[in-house]
Amino acid sequence: MTPTPPSASRSFLGMSPALLWGYVAIAFFMTGDGLEQAFLSDYLVTEAGFSTSQAGTLLTVYGLVVAIAAFVSGILAEYIGPRRVMAVATIGWIVFHAGFLAFGVMQHNYPLMLVMYSIRAVAYPMFVFGFVVWISYAAPQNRMSSAMGWFWCSYSLGVGVFGSYLPSLTIPWVGTVTTLWSAIAFIAVGGAMATFLVRGRGPSNSGERTLRGLGATIVETVKMPFENVQLAHGMIQRTINQLALYGFIVMLPIVFTRDIGFSQERWLQLWSLVYLVTVFTNLMWGVIGDRIGWVRTIRWFGSLGMFAATLLLYFTPVLAGPNALLTAGAVVLFGIAIAAYVPLSALMPALEPARRGQAVALLNLSAGASQFVGSLLVTVLWDRIGTTGTVLALAATYLVGFGLSFLLKVDQNALADTEIRQSASASAA
């Protein structure tokens, strides 16, 4: 009789009941973290009096710190456990967000804003990507793409639907700064859920944990993409994945309101629609990826889909004016396409089943790099080649990703096979 993986117990479309509260925690945490996303650059430039370069620099530095912290978060979650990492991230986020507002924004002190916001950037990937490591161990191994689809569904529900839509209601009522302060409540609730309610097995923590051992693990992880080139291909795809998203976060709040003529409220509602769509399409592409192939999904629907959607999201309102209905159609297509990269979250640990936490760390590094590079491209190109040129450059990166996808190879059964072998060994022992 063939042993079955211990994590292949009852689930609903890949969601393990033991991780349910973790998915809810992600939605709450990302609501708090995403409240500022769709209006911060516009607020800093049009109300607070900072330059577009200062706003772009703030978000670019934030993205760089996120990239580094995202890498370390996977290793720490593997080394000391996801629960501890997520608890520390919650406390850090609250402390430095309060500092960002009290000592930076409210005092109009740009250097302190930059320092506090950059340190706060460490907390977001520690919390979110720490949970990705947890999923890679506790979710059904033969439905990993679907399980990751649930993660990105929760992520989108928080950062985009509630995170982008709520400010359209609260800013006219209580103002921008109070809206920013309210984020702390969502972070606290999400952190409490992750700390006390999530179950499910995580990485094995047997043996002594030392700084020397942690350093050796980091060095080993850095070497992995050089030893397994498929990991490098996956990292490139993950970096390309959200370049347009993070580039647009810098550009579009200003372009849509100042140049095209949308009201801030309408812009916030349109941007939240991106994430409302991905609430459903993240899960959809996760399930489809398990059935038609992870790489095939990324290549045809992710790369080519995002090339077309990036162009449509900008050129539709440019040509049609502030037409909310037509622009909403372009937003929906953007949300559908960007979610087609979901199988990457299953693909990376499948490339290194015995070191999946470290593989997730590399995935996280690439996710952070996507935020950094997307913001950096806009910061560097916008003043030099204009809005249209910058959008064309962002779209072109997806054609590069399409070509590189033909180099990507993976065994979709690798995680499940590893679990079966481990289960068989344990039974024999």
Q: Which residues pair with 12 in a beta bridge?
A: 15
| DSSP state for residue 340 in the 8-state scheme | G
Q: 224, 130 in Cβ contact below 8 A?
A: no
pLDDT at 60: 82
For residue 318, the Cα-to-chain-centroid distance in whole angstroms is: 28
Q: How far apart are CA 16 and CA 147, in angstroms?
A: 8
How far is the CA of 232 from the CAs of 283, 338, 362, in angstroms?
25, 20, 9
CA 198, 6, 286, 408 dihedral sign is positive
Q: Which residues pair with 15 in a beta bridge?
A: 12
Q: Which string of DSSP letters, residue by residue, matches 251-278?
A: HHHHIIIIII---HHHHHHHHHHHHHHH
∠9-13-15 over CA atoms, to 5°? 60
**What number of other Cβ atoms are within 10 A of residue 166's Cβ?**
19
CA 106, 33, 239, 38 dihedral sign is negative
pLDDT at 423: 53
pLDDT at 25: 96
Q: How far apart are CA 165 and CA 131, in angstroms?
A: 25
pLDDT at 419: 61
∠365-368-372 over CA atoms, to 5°? 130
Would you give per-residue pLDDT tens digits along the chain (429 residues)?
A: 344 444 444 656 667 788 999 999 999 999 999 888 777 877 888 887 788 788 888 888 888 888 888 888 888 888 888 999 999 999 999 999 999 999 988 888 999 999 999 999 999 989 998 898 898 888 887 788 888 889 988 988 888 778 877 888 888 888 888 999 999 999 999 999 999 998 877 676 555 567 788 888 889 999 999 999 999 999 999 999 999 999 998 899 889 998 999 998 898 889 878 878 988 898 899 999 989 999 999 999 999 999 999 999 999 999 999 999 999 999 999 999 999 999 999 999 999 988 887 898 899 889 878 888 998 899 899 989 999 999 999 999 999 999 999 999 998 887 766 665 555 554 554
Q: 171, 39 in Cβ contact below 8 A?
A: yes
Q: How far apart are CA 185 and CA 347, in angstroms?
A: 34
pLDDT at 331: 96
Q: How far apart are CA 65 and CA 30, in angstroms?
A: 17
pLDDT at 386: 95
pLDDT at 1: 37
Q: What does the CA dihedral 268, 269, 272, 278 come to, rounded to 10 degrees?
A: -150
Q: How far apart are CA 87 and CA 193, in angstroms?
A: 10
Supply the pTM of this predicted model: 0.78
pLDDT at 244: 97
pLDDT at 224: 96
